[in-house]
Every structure is written in C-alpha cells, then in structure tokens.
Amino acid sequence: MKRGEPIRTCVACRQEAGKRGLIRLVRLPDGSAGHDAGGRAPGRGAYLHHAQDCLALARQRRALERALKARVDQVLWQTLAVVSQADESGGVK
Ligand SMILES: [Zn+2]
C-alpha cells in the first residue's frame, strides 16, 4: 500500500484497504449501480475488494444495494466477477 493512498472500507467484509486494492462502484443518475473503472466518477461510491469472496458476500447480503441505495443488476455482477478475476490473476489493468 502506498503512502498517502486513500483508505476505503469494503462493503462486504468491512475491512479497510487502499483504494487501489478495491473496486469502486457508483450510484448512477438513473438509480442503478455502475462499475467505476476509472475510480473517479462523481457521486456516492461504494468499494469492494478485488476478491471473489467479497463479491459473493456482497451479493448475498445485498451490501452494495444498501451502501449505494441503488439497483445492482445481473450484468453488473457479471462485470464485477470478470473484473475481480482479472485483478486477482494479476492480469489486465
Ligand atoms: Zn472485502
């Protein structure tokens, strides 16, 4: 973790991590949740570890829905599954 890196809490396991180790989700104007790939989208944000476990946990507990007060649709879960897998294996972006 780099010095000065912002610390955020994963909505699934409630553990803190540097922003870079987390996936950022934002509430979109239409009331649904979206993946903020760049980590800079304005608005209410929620964070998840780049981990399948946290993804599964968030899904099970509806943690993202509660944190963002937004809908999380099937497509987003699929996107997040791909994103967290890619990051875990040290691949793309
Ligand atoms: Zn977590």
> pLDDT per residue over 29-80, tens digit each?
999 999 999 888 998 899 999 999 999 999 999 999 999 999 999 999 999 9
CB contact at 8 A, 36 and 24? yes
pLDDT in tens, 55-64: 999 999 999 9
Distance between CA atoms of residues 29 and 82, nearest Å:
24
29 C-alpha to ligand 1 centroid (Å) = 26
User: What residue type is assigned to position 17 of the chain?
Assistant: A
21 C-alpha to ligand 1 centroid (Å) = 10
Token couple for 89: 């294996």
Which residues, 6 or more positions from 3, have their beta carbon under 8 angstroms from its beta carbon? none
The reported pTM is 0.84
Token couple for 39: 């980590």
Per CATH, which fold does 7-88 belong to?
Hypothetical Cytosolic Protein; Chain: A; (3.30.1230)
Q: Where are the domains of the chain?
A: 7-88
